[in-house]
Amino acid sequence: MEHYYQEEIECASPEQIRKIQDEKLRDQVKHVWDNVPYYRKKMEEAGVKPEDINSVDDLHKLPFLSKADLREAYPYGLLGVPLKDCVRIHSTSGTTGKRVVAFYTQGDIDLWEECCARAICAAGGTEEDVCHVAYGYGLFTGGAGLHGGSHKAGCLTVPISSGNTDRQIMFIMDLKATILCCTPSYAAYLGERMKELGYGPNDIPLKSGIFGAEAWSQEMRADIEKTLGIKAYDIYGLTELSGPGVSFECSAQQGMHINEDHFIAEIIDPDTLEVLPEGSEGELVFTAIDKKAFPMIRYRTRDICSLTREKCSCGRTHVRMQKPKGRTDDMLIIRGVNVFPSQIETVLLNHGYAANYLIVVDRVNNTDTFEVQVEMTPEMFTDNLGEIEDRQKELTDGLKAMLGIKAKVSLVAPKSIARSEGKAVRVIDKRKI
Ligand code: DLL
C-alpha cells in the first residue's frame, strides 16, 4: 500500500494544483518585487510588472536567475526578508568561486522538512522505522533536510552524518536501521564494506534507501539494491531551492515527483532559453513559490532532464522529472563529442564492474586525451596480463559504442580508487588547470 505524508496535496487534481500555483506565483512575484531590489531591477529591465503575472501561463515573461546572479548578489543581495527573520543558512559544496549561501525563515524550514517527509513516506517510512541519516550534517543540506523529514515522518532518527564507515555499519546492524539516507556512491561503498564483513542482503535490516545529491545510473541502483537487499529511491534537490526534497521517487521508480505546491518546473533550451514542450530534454528551471527568505524565480539549475505528466501508479499527481543525466557543467566535451560521466557508468556496470572509476581528460599536442580508470572487482582481479588486456579491449569497445569516441581504458586493482563519503569526484579534467 502506498504511504503518503500529505495525501490530499500529493494526490490533488491537476486543476487544484494549478490553482494553488497561480495564487502562490502572484504572491511570490509581488513579494520579490517589493523586497528584492536585485530581482526587481531585472524585471524592470525586462519590462515586466507584478500585474503582468496572473498565472503560470505568464511565467515565461519573467527573467531568469542563474548561479552568476547568486555570485553577484552574494551574500545578502537576494534576501527576501529582513535578516532578523532568518533562522538558518546552508551553503553549497561548490569548489569554484564563491559558495552559494541560502537563507531560511522558520516557515521555509518547515516546508522543506515536509518535502523530505513526503520522500521518506514514499520510501515506506512510518513511525515504526529507524532512519539512518548518513548525509553530511553542517552547511550541506543533505543531513539537515532528511533529518527534519525523518522527524516529521515520525521515524526514529539516527543523525550519524557521514564518515567512519565501520561505525555506520555497527549502528545499522545494532539499531536495526530500516531506511538509509546517503549519497548513492556512499551507499555503494557501505554495501561493499558490509559484504567484506560477511553480511549478505538477508542479514542487513535495511528495507529502503533514499539516495541523491549526485547523478547515478539505473545500473548502479540495481547494484545497490542487490548488495543491501533494499529498494533504492532517488531524491533530488539543490541548496538554492532549500535542499533535498524538491522531488522524490515513489514505489513506481519511474522518475521523481516534483513538489508542485512549492515549486514550478520548466524545461528550457539552454542555448536559446526557449521553454520546451513536455517530454523534451533540456535544462531544468525552477520557481520557488513558497520560500520567503531566498525566493528563487526561474532559477536555472543547469541540470539536464525531461518532465512527464503521464499518470503514475502510486497515485501522486505531481509532475515527474527523469533522473538528471548530469549538469550542463558536468558534461565533458572530448574531441568535440559530448560525454556525460553517467553514460560511462552505465557501460561499466553493464560489464560487471562497480561504480569505482575515474575519468581523466587532458590535452596533449592540441588533441584531447581521454582515459577511464576502472577498478577490477575482487572476483575478477587477476595479474594475468592477457586477460586484463582482453577486458580492457572489451570495455573500450563498449564505451566506443555508447559515446562514439575511443577511450583508453586502464584496469586498476580493487580498492585503488578513493571511496567517497559524500558526492563522488569522478572526473579530473586537466585541460582546465
Ligand atoms: O545535493 C541537495 C541534496 C542532498 C539532494 C541530498 C539530494 C539528497 P547541492 O549540494 O546544492 O544540493 O547540489 C545540487 O546536485 O543541481 C544536481 O546537479 C545534483 N543532484 C542533486 N540530487 C540529484 C539526483 C544537494 N538525485 C546539485 N540526481 C543539483 C542527480 C542530483 N543529480
Question: What pLDDT, in 10s, does the model give residues 251-290?
Answer: 999 999 999 999 999 999 999 999 999 999 999 999 999 9
Residues 141 and 255 in one domain: yes
> Residue 95: is its pLDDT beyond 60?
no
Compute, in angstroms, the gap from residue 237 CA to the centroid of ligand 1. Answer: 5
Residue ending a domain, among 327, 347, 366, is 327
CA distance 113 to 106: 11
* Cβ atoms within 10 Å of 204's Cβ, excluding its own: 22
Look at residues 305, 327, 349 and tell me which one is the last residue of a structural domain: 327
Ligand 1 within 6 A of 328 CB? no
326 lines ligand 1 (CB under 6 A): no
Q: What percent of the chain has pLDDT over 90?
A: 90
| pLDDT reported for residue 93 | 61
If you measure from the C-alpha of residue 212 to the centroid of ligand 1, how many angstroms do you get, rounded to a whole number?
6
| Residue that is last in its domain, among 327, 348, 363 | 327
Q: Which atom of ligand 1 is nearest to the CA of 146?
A: 6
Same domain, 174 and 280: yes
Mean of the per-residue pLDDT values for the chain?
95
- For strands 130-133 and 156-158, give the pairing: parallel
Ligand 1 binding pocket includes 238 (Cβ within 6 Å)? yes
| Full domain range(s) for residue 392 | 332-429
260 and 158 share one domain: yes
Co-location of 157 and 56 in the same domain: yes
CA dihedral 423, 141, 285, 247 (to 10 degrees): 90
For ligand 1, the distance from its centroid to the CA atom of residue 49, given in whole angstroms, is: 32
- Do 214 and 255 lie in one domain? The reply is yes
User: Cell numbers at residue 187, please?
Assistant: 551507499
Closest CA to 372 of 115, 298, 385, 391: 391
Q: What's the whole-number mean pLDDT along residues 373-387? A: 94
Tell whether the model's pLDDT for residue 385 goes beyond 80. Answer: yes
Whose CA is closest to atom 29 on ligand 1? 238
Same domain, yes or no: 302 and 369: no
Q: Is the CB of 234 under 6 A from ligand 1?
A: yes
Mutational test site, ligand 1, from 303, 343, 420, max ligand atoms within 8 Å of CB: 303
Q: Which atom of ligand 1 is nearest to the CA of 302?
A: 16
Cross-strand partners of 88: 104
In this model, does residue 337 exceed pLDDT 90?
no
136 CB within 6 A, ligand 1: no
Grid cell 581523466 is found at 360
- State if residue 35 touches ligand 1 by the CB under 6 angstroms criterion: no
Task: List the CATH number of the domain containing 415.
Answer: 3.30.300.30
CA distance 332 to 139: 28
pTM across the whole model: 0.92
Are residue 261 and residue 380 in the same domain, yes or no? no
* Residue 329 clears pLDDT 90, i.e. is over it: no
* 243 ligand 1 Cβ < 6 A: yes
Higher pLDDT: 327 or 245? It is 245
Do 317 and 341 sit in the same domain of this protein? Answer: no
Mutation probe of ligand 1 site: the residue of 238, 239, 303, 305 with most atoms within 8 A of C-beta: 238
Residue 256 CA: nearest ligand 1 atom is 26
**How far, in Å, is the centroid of ligand 1 from the Cα of 236?**
5
Burial of residue 181 (CB within 10 Å: 0-12, 13-18, 19+) is buried
| CA atoms lying within 13 Å on the CB side of residue 16 | 9
How remote is the CA of residue 364 from the centroid of ligand 1, in Å?
33
Angstrom distances, CA of residue 291 to CA of 79, 103, 310:
11, 10, 28
Strands 408-412, 367-375: pairing is parallel
d(CA 59, CA 37): 19
User: Quick one: three-class SS letters along the chain?
Assistant: CCCCCCHHHHCCCHHHHHHHHHHHHHHHHHHHHHHCHHHHHHHHHHCCCHHHCCCHHHHHHCCCECHHHHHHCCCCCCCCCCHHHCCEEEECCCCCCCCCEEEECHHHHHHHHHHHHHHHHHCCCCCCCEEEECCCCCCCHHHHHHHHHHHHHCCEEECCCCCCHHHHHHHHHHCCCCEEEECHHHHHHHHHHHHHCCCCCCCCCCCEEEEECCCCCHHHHHHHHHHHCCEEEEEEEEHHHCEEEEEEECCCCCCEEECCCCEEEEEECCCCCCECCCCCCEEEEEEECCCCCCCCCCEEEEEEECEECCCCCCCCCCCEECCCCCECCCCEEECCEEECHHHHHHHHHHCCCCCCEEEEEEEECCEEEEEEEEECCCCCCCCCHHHHHHHHHHHHHHHHHHHCCCCEEEEECCCCCCCCCCCCCCEEEHHHC
Percent of the chain with pLDDT over 70: 98
201 and 107 fall within a common domain: yes
Q: Is the CB of 303 under 6 A from ligand 1?
A: yes
Q: Residues 342, 253: one domain?
A: no
| Degrees to nearest 5, angle at CA 179 with 178 and 185 | 130
Gap between the Cα atoms of 160 and 45, Å rounded = 48
Total domains in the fold of the chain:
2
126: pLDDT confidence band, cut at 50, 70 and 90? very high
Which CATH number covers residue 170?
A: 3.40.50.12780
Q: What is the pLDDT of residue 16?
A: 98
